[in-house]
Amino acid sequence: MNLIPVIMSGGSGSRLWPQSRSLYPKQFLPLVNEQTMLQNTLSRLDGLDSVSDPMVIANEEHRFLVAEQIRQIGRKASAIILEPVGKNTAPAVALAAMKAKAVSEENEPLLLVLAADHVIKDVPAFHHAIEAALPAASDGDLVTFGVVPTHPETSYGYIKASEELIGNSEQVALVESFVEKPELETAQGYLADGDYYWNSGMFLFKATRYLEELNKFRPDILQACEKAMAIESTDLDFVRLDEAAFQACPEESIDYAVMEKTTDAVVVSLDAGWSDVGSWSSLADICKKDESGNSVQGDVLLQDTRNTYVRSEKKLIVTLGVNDLVITESDDAILVAHKSRVQDVKKIVDRLKAEKRPEVKLHRKVYRPWGAYDSIDMGDRFQVKRITVKPGAQLSLQKHHHRAEHWIVVKGTALVTNGDQETLLTENQSTFIPIGAIHRLKNPGKFDLELIEVQSGSYLGEDDIVRFEDTYGRV
């Protein structure tokens, strides 16, 4: 039977600020190894039988990040479905189920629904759990994966397994109930009981069975998704929905909409070193520790420090005489928090939003489909950026109403359109783009183009761009 992975990549990861930003959230970050969380999720599918190219459900603002990170590891997606707005997991899975039915060569594709931002250390155990779940899913059950708890966790929901097993596997049982995040004493009881599992948010079921159950319990969600998909359009690698129809869709999780109501829910136990990396302390828990319980990444020097997580990206970080802290540095912000308060990082993010701080959305370095730019200096009426353009890529044909730009090529070759002139620039050569001039930058070479851009003018915001042509459909 055809198994289609569905990767849910719409989260914001606000509790992992300052590394995670709304326009560059944690699933696109290399938090545990050299690959990003999304890339790790895709890579751990290697070795499963009859697996098709995955579908990815993503926020429209993240579309180029998703496509580029998939390309970087030599893979392709069967579809990248763009949500105009986040509506939680029940609608997202419905979109994937409808698309899977449309593109699958079989009438009954199985969907393996995974989050893009989880850690699973024991991949063979993960594969074994999926194989144990396949017979039940093929018979029409809706499978959820319950993580064997290692401690009384209060930040996860739980699944209580029935004593009634399904099939010949002791890993598969009927779901007796879903329970909300417990208090500590209740969580301790769950751990001692042995029949309770952490709710991982991973699922396996037939696309048709999910749609049937959604229609039974939340037909309003199904109807809204059908309307949104009825006017879908393909743009490059992306599947776009009808925005107005999807805006009208109710917001609901798959647990509340279907899994807690269906009589066909079964749970497969998963003991594979799973973590949702929902906070800095949970990331610290899965990282390698020294004899004092410290975890470090980057250029870090510790002195008389215990049980502390320190992450450096650019600068040397030195600690002296501290305990139980999280210290993490990005290109434009530093967070210092007690481990007992890391769940409250979201409150800091909410405050940054309220104050309209740019640090909540973007890093200093911003990725674009053609490359990236790094804002290295800014002052009154000027801004300096380091721009990198990938080989063969080009920016949109555009103009600005309020700023002029001076480009100096540092590395590579630039093909510059400036009004009706087209000029080839090499290293140490420069050009000036006046206010209002229609212009474009292209890298015609085989290596990255790097240049310094100096902007000057009365307004330097990114929204002062009028696009006339664009390779990436942003006009």
pLDDT score recorded for residue 102: 82
pLDDT score recorded for residue 475: 66
13 close to 27: Cβ distance less than 8 angstroms: yes
The token pair at 44 is 């751990």
- Alpha-carbon span 285 to 307, nearest angstrom: 10
The token pair at 412 is 């590579």
Q: Which residues of the chain have pLDDT under 70?
A: 1, 105-107, 167, 236, 475
Give long-range contacts, CB 8 A cutoff, 24+ apart: 428-437: 430/406, 431/406, 431/407, 432/404, 432/405, 432/406, 432/407, 433/404, 433/405, 433/406, 433/407, 434/404, 435/400, 435/401, 435/402, 435/403, 435/404, 436/399, 436/400, 436/401, 437/399
Give the CATH number, domain containing residue 412. 2.60.120.10
Q: Is 228 part of a structural domain of the chain?
A: yes
Examine the domain organization and report whether 205 and 287 are in the same domain.
Answer: no
Q: Which residues does residue 231 pair with via DSSP β-bridges, in sequence order?
A: none
pLDDT score recorded for residue 227: 94
* Beta-carbon contacts of residue 68 (< 8 Å; ≥ 6 apart): 367, 369
Q: Is 360 part of a structural domain of the chain?
A: no
pLDDT score recorded for residue 1: 65
pLDDT score recorded for residue 105: 66
Give long-range contacts, CB 8 A cutoff, 24+ apart: 62-65: 62/9, 62/10, 62/23, 62/25, 62/28, 63/238, 64/367, 64/368, 64/369, 64/472, 65/24, 65/28, 65/367
Examine the domain organization and report whether 205 and 305 are in the same domain.
Answer: no
pLDDT score recorded for residue 307: 97
Q: What is the DSSP letter of 331?
A: S
Examine the domain organization and report whether 99 and 182 are in the same domain.
Answer: yes
On the CB side of 421, CA atoms within 13 Å amount to: 9
- Alpha carbon 173 to its chain centroid, in Å, reads 31
Examine the domain organization and report whether 388 and 302 are in the same domain.
Answer: no
Q: Is 296 part of a structural domain of the chain?
A: yes
Examine the domain organization and report whether 302 and 257 are in the same domain.
Answer: no
pLDDT score recorded for residue 90: 96
Tell me the pLDDT tens digit for each residue of 427-471: 999 999 999 999 999 999 999 999 999 999 999 988 899 999 988
Q: CA-based Rg of the chain, rounded to a whole angstrom? A: 25
> Which residues constitute the domain of residue 112?
3-275
Examine the domain organization and report whether 202 and 314 are in the same domain.
Answer: no
Please identify, among 318, 348, 378, the residue that sits at the C-terminal boundary of a domain: 348
- Alpha-carbon span 113 to 110, nearest angstrom: 9
Domain count, the chain: 3
Q: How far apart are the first and last CA of the chain?
A: 42
Examine the domain organization and report whether 174 and 292 are in the same domain.
Answer: no
Give the CATH number, domain containing residue 91. 3.90.550.10
Examine the domain organization and report whether 209 and 286 are in the same domain.
Answer: no
pLDDT score recorded for residue 277: 92
Examine the domain organization and report whether 254 and 317 are in the same domain.
Answer: no
CA distances from 177 to 140, 147, 158, 180, 191 (A): 19, 15, 9, 10, 16
Q: Is 160 part of a structural domain of the chain?
A: yes
